[in-house]
Amino acid sequence: MPLLTEEEIAFFRVTGYVVARAAVEDDLITRCREQVWDNLPESPDSPDGWTDGKHFSSYTNKDAWAQSGPMQELAEHESLAGVARQLLGESIKPPRAGSVLLRFPSKDKTYRPPTVGHLDNTCGHSFNTITLLDTVKPRGGGFTVWPGSHMMCHEYFRHHDVRAPLTNGLLPWSYGTGIEFTGEPGDVVHIHPWMIHTVGHNVNDTLRMVAQNGYFRVTLKEDFDDIPEDLWWFWDGIREMEAGMRAEGRTWQVPAEPDAGTVSA
């Protein structure tokens, strides 16, 4: 699959996210989905036995099965790891499988849009991806973000200790309306690590199933020592692109809205 275009990277810089449709081939997605069901107590053929509104994380459960096989292949996929190298530069740690995140349907069909999000960590020099392993419909527990919040977080951490833990991952401001990602198996959402996010409320009848992967610079620990004024200081690939554009007398153009496949949560 192709890497991100200059226009898509421009959109990513402004919003903190960009969506790549059909970025991962069906065969790998199918094997990932089968790997998930093979390791769950629930059955895809018996939705009546699903736990009401259950939120599952293989990372929280420390499930070893999610770190091997198709899940590791997904982490190494060029549409994920290749894009990470494109933006962060070639000096990233070897890709490792991340976590499987599930949101089972809720029996209460009263939709409650997310009003607050969080950060998983305060590391601003990683690159994160969310890959849909099955169809996610509107109000189906989709990954929800607050566009532009990566810039707000950058400004916050320039004046606060980036090593200090956040209470429940929350930052002290009003969040407003988020954007819920919807799509089909194989769609990928690329996000900045300082993007405020959460999981939505699933009022559909289908399971929301995604894989989350993170990619990190080899200088992970050293990069924590200072938060520079330039939000993209750690992103060697983006900085190289900017240098090339300056040599050509060009600057980033205000990006048009790409097909994000999103809905207001």
- List, for residues 77-91, the tens digit of each pLDDT value: 999 999 999 999 998
Query: Residue 1 domain-assigned?
Result: no
Q: Report pLDDT for 168.
A: 65
User: What tokens were used for 99?
Assistant: 């976590």
10 backbone dihedrals φ, ψ, rounded to 5°: -60, -40
Q: Quick one: average pLDDT of 211-218?
A: 91
- List, for residues 188-208, the tens digit of each pLDDT value: 999 998 899 999 889 999 999
Measure CA 242 to chain center.
24
Q: Report pLDDT for 58.
A: 95
Query: Residue 153 domain-assigned?
Result: yes
Q: Which domain, by its residues, includes 22? A: 6-264
237 backbone dihedrals φ, ψ, rounded to 5°: -65, -45
Q: Report pLDDT for 121.
A: 65
Cβ atoms of residues 182 and 137 within 8 Å:
yes
Q: Report pLDDT for 64.
A: 94
How sure is the predictor about 45, in pLDDT bands with cuts at 50, 70 and 90? very high
Query: Residue 183 domain-assigned?
Result: yes
Print burial letters for 231-244: b (CB count within 10 Å at least 16), e (below 16): bbbbbbbbeebbee
Neighbours of 110 (CB within 10 A): 7
Cβ atoms of residues 214 and 126 within 8 Å:
yes
Query: Residue 167 domain-assigned?
Result: yes
Query: Residue 143 domain-assigned?
Result: yes
> What's the pTM?
0.92
User: What tokens were used for 39?
Assistant: 């390791």
Q: How many domains does the chain have?
A: 1
Which residues are within 8 A (CB) of 205 and not within 5 positions of it... i.e. 6 or more apart?
47, 105
Domain with 237 in it: what CATH number?
2.60.120.620
> Across the chain, what does the average pLDDT equal?
88
